[in-house]
Amino acid sequence: IISQQVERVVQSNTFSAVQEQLNGINMDFLQSLGTRVNSLLNVTFSGIGNVVGAVGEFMIGIITMPILLFYLLQDGEKILPAVLQVFPTRSRKRMSIVLTEMNQQISSYIRGQLTVAIAVAIMFSIGYAIIGLPYGVTIAILAGALNVIPYVGSFFGILPALIVGFVISPWMFVQVFIVFVIEQTLEGRIVSPLILGNSLQMHPVTILVVLLSTGKIFGLVGLLLGVPGYAVLKVIISHIFDWYKEYSGLYVEEPKIEENLVKE
């Protein structure tokens, strides 16, 4: 009797309708799952591609920068005469002074960045020695070398230390991160402003204001080019003001009243 009732239920229209609905739900679920998996794979491969592209650009920058600096230092004296040919003959003397001062500012900035890189390597060496990180000196030197590339270099410089710390223990990973935070604070607030300020003859507060302002307005590009751009702009504005004082005649010191009375 039970088997007959089961057979009737199976053969009924209601059971067939329910079975069709379940089959439809299964198909919809499989299609939705396939769509989600494809979307996830696309996002994953796109993210991997972006990371690989960023790393590739970074490595190209590391390789290209020393070559560019080498040729600039080797042929720097040939660049100035070529640029001066663009200006009128009567303006070349003044423009030669302006371009020379701009070159000095950029050279001072590069020397300052190299000095900061050495200071960064020393600070990391001390920090890693305190926490007992293996290969601390080597990793610190690498971090200092990468620090020549502002801000982006600091991120890539700390990665080897974080990886080594994570492999050793979670606590070592935390200690490496603490060392990084302390180093970044000292570098950003004290070391870089003082060294770059002395190199470029700027007050450390001016360096901080320039970095904060250009970073807020232009983002990463502002952080990279803010200080050297300000140094170059300072030279240009200074010479424009000198030219204005010379030709306007408004800044000529008038004879003192006492001297006029004595002459009379």
- Residues composing the chain: 264
Model pLDDT, residue 89:
81
Residue 121, number of CB atoms within 10 A of its CB: 20
Tokens encoding 100: 């020379």
Residue bearing tokens 């870089």: 192
Model pLDDT, residue 90:
79
Model pLDDT, residue 217:
84
Distance CA 115, CA 191 (A): 10
Model pLDDT, residue 180:
93
Give the DSSP letter string of 65-100.
Answer: HHHHHHHHHHHHHHHHHHHHTTS-GGGHHHHHHHHH
Burial class (CB within 10 angstroms; exposed 0-12, middle 13-18, buried 19+) of 204: middle
Model pLDDT, residue 181:
92
Give the DSSP letter string of 183-194.
Answer: HHHHIIIIIHHH
Model pLDDT, residue 100:
83
Q: What is the mean pLDDT of each run of 10 residues along the chain (264 residues)?
A: 53 58 60 70 68 62 62 65 78 82 83 88 94 91 82 80 91 93 88 82 80 80 80 87 79 59 52
Per-residue burial over 222-234, b = 16 or more CB atoms within 10 Å of its CB, e = otherwise? bbbebbbbbbbeb
Distance CA 176, CA 195 (A): 25
Orientation of helix 220-248 relative to helix 92-131, angle to 10°: 150
The angle at the Cα of 188, spanning 215 to 128, to the nearest 5 degrees, equals: 135
Distance CA 136, CA 122 (A): 11
Model pLDDT, residue 93:
82
Model pLDDT, residue 174:
93
pTM metric for this prediction: 0.61
Orientation of helix 204-218 relative to helix 192-200, angle to 10°: 100
Model pLDDT, residue 141:
92
